[in-house]
Amino acid sequence: MTRPCDALPPVRGTYTHGAPLKDLVWFRVGGPAEVLFRPADADDLATFLAARPCDMAVTVIGVGSNLLVRDGGIPGVVIRLPAAFSKIIVDGTRLRAGAAALDSAAARTAADAGIAGLEFLRGVPGTVGGALRMNAGCYGSEVKDILVECTAIDGTGAKQIWTSAQMGFSYRHCAVPDDVIFVEALFEGMRDEPAAVRARMEQLLGRREGSQPVRSKTGGSTFKNPPGHKAWQLISDAGCRGLKVGGAQVSEMHSNFLINTGDARAADIEALGEEVRARVKAKFGIVLEWEIRRVGVP
Ligand SMILES: Cc1cc2nc3c(=O)[nH]c(=O)nc-3n(C[C@H](O)[C@H](O)[C@H](O)COP(=O)(O)OP(=O)(O)OC[C@H]3O[C@@H](n4cnc5c(N)ncnc54)[C@H](O)[C@@H]3O)c2cc1C
């Protein structure tokens, strides 16, 4: 495995060696990136991917609202798309959004332009890139319903267009290879009055604030809902609500959320998640699948 210090290609963006990631992710835990790369633009990202040794590990992150970075950090190069990738442009009932744009910004821009259908994104605290990778969704809508196509750069630096049908979307999953980095999405909604769209958006936001610990250090829903079940219900009925390991706790408010109560290590959060899985398996024979992506080394 080629280490970044030996072979970082020249770029226009910035490299930071040993960059702390804690402050870049919602859980506020985890070790550093061996190298953090912020590309200047999509061409710079493509240049990097084409020129790096093919065995150099590359991990892309959004704003880390679905990520548990382990305490040993992430070896290789971690890519975080900067503000240059966050433009949002409206064209009729379509909206073109850079992968670093926040989902909430995309939803608000759509509402102001009188485009309905993106309201659900208002409460998803990630980026457009993370939403594409995770097929983010809530309250009966998901990215697959509004995506026309997206632009991406693959692991060799080649630009690609993926149509919605090619993405292989399923519940909190897309089948696009892991080395593909999304740089832009084209969404389509329907014409409506801005005030009506805004009202629906605020209603969804209100529902969320009443039921989820949205101001905590958390990674959102920890486990996928198993077919025919709600993960939170299984976790609660297995007696895990409020359960603690070190500084990590199962939320009292929403039992599918794990929380860093202040001084948790990533290892506490992961161990707590595994304890929850073991208790649910023992009580119901159901194996919970992690929705949160765990990255890096322990
Ligand atoms: C309070 C809270 C509430 C939440 N509610 C919801 C909800 O209602 N519905 C829902 O679906 N999710 C929810 N989440 C989870 C999370 O917000 C989503 O999964 C979101 O889409 C992740 O986006 P991100 O930018 O934070 O990605 P990250 O967490 O940084 O990364 C997630 C995955 O996406 C990949 N990725 C990120 N950017 C790119 C890119 N440009 N190209 C390719 N891959 C990329 C990463 O490699 C990683 O595998 C919630 C999280 C929190 C903390």
Co-location of 199 and 243 in the same domain: no
* Alpha-carbon distances, residue 25 vs 13, 87, 114, 277 (angstroms): 21, 22, 32, 23
Same domain, 76 and 88: no
221 is catalytic: yes
Q: Token pair for residue 13?
A: 């963006």
**Span from the CA of 264 to the centroid of ligand 1 (angstroms):** 21
229 and 191 within one domain: no
With the most atoms of ligand 1 within 8 angstroms of its CB, the residue from 25, 26, 29, 66 to mutate is: 66
- How far is Cα of residue 277 from the mean position of the Cα atoms in its chain? 22
- 153: its two tokens: 């750069």
- Asked if residue 223 and residue 173 are part of one domain, the reply reads no
Please tell me whether residues 67 and 102 are part of one structural domain. no
Tally of structural domains, the chain: 3
180 in the same domain as 100? yes
For atom 9 of ligand 1, which residue has the closest CA?
137
Among the candidates 209, 243, 271, a domain finishes at: 209
CB 34 within 8 Å of CB 42: no
How much is the pLDDT for 175?
98
Asked whether residue 170 falls in the same domain as residue 102, the answer is yes
Domain finish residue from 175, 209, 243: 209
Residue at which a domain ends, from 67, 82, 97: 82
Rounded Cα distance, 224 and 235, in Å = 12
pLDDT at 54: 86
Contact call for residues 78 and 61 (beta carbons, < 8 A): yes
CATH code of the domain containing 275: 3.90.78.10
Q: How far is the CA of 291 from the centre of ligand 1 (A)?
A: 10
Which residue has a Cα nearest atom 43 of ligand 1? 181
- Are both 144 and 108 inside the same structural domain? yes
pLDDT along the chain (298 residues), means of 10: 80 98 98 98 98 94 98 98 98 98 98 98 97 97 98 97 98 97 98 98 92 94 97 98 98 97 97 98 98 98
Nearest Cα residue to 96 out of 83, 86, 104 = 86
Predicted pLDDT of residue 158: 98
Please give the Cα distance from 232 to 229 (Å, whole number). 9
Q: Please tell me the distance from the alpha carbon of residue 262 to that of residue 248, in angstroms, as a whole number.
A: 8
The enclosing domain of 129 has a CATH number of 3.30.465.10
Cα–Cα nearest to 256, from 227, 291, 223: 223
The residue whose C-alpha atom lies closest to atom 51 belonging to ligand 1 is: 220
The 3-state DSSP class for residue 25 equals coil
Residue of 65, 221, 251, 255 marked catalytic: 221
Beta-carbon contacts of 227 under 8 Å, excluding residues fewer than 6 positions away, are none
Structural domain of 150: 84-209
Cα–Cα distance list, 205 to 34, 78, 125, 139 (Å): 37, 32, 11, 11
Name the DSSP class of 166: G
Which ligand 1 atom is at minimum distance from the Cα of 136?
11
Residues 205 and 94 in one domain: yes
- For ligand 1, atom 4, name the residue with the nearest CA: 220
Token pair of 291 as six digits: 């929705």
Q: Residues 95, 178: one domain?
A: yes
Task: Identify the pLDDT of residue 5.
Answer: 64
172 tagged catalytic: yes
Give the separation between CA 218 and CA 260, rounded to whole angstroms.
6
Task: Calculate the alpha carbon distances from 184 to 93, 95, 132, 211, 243 in Å.
Answer: 17, 10, 10, 31, 40
One domain for residues 205 and 274: no
CB 30 within 8 A of CB 294: no
Q: Which residues, at least 6 apart from 233, have a Cβ–Cβ distance to it below 8 Å?
A: none
What does the alpha-carbon distance between residue 45 and residue 36 come to, in Å, rounded to a whole number?
A: 13
**Partners of residue 182 on adjacent β-strands:** 152
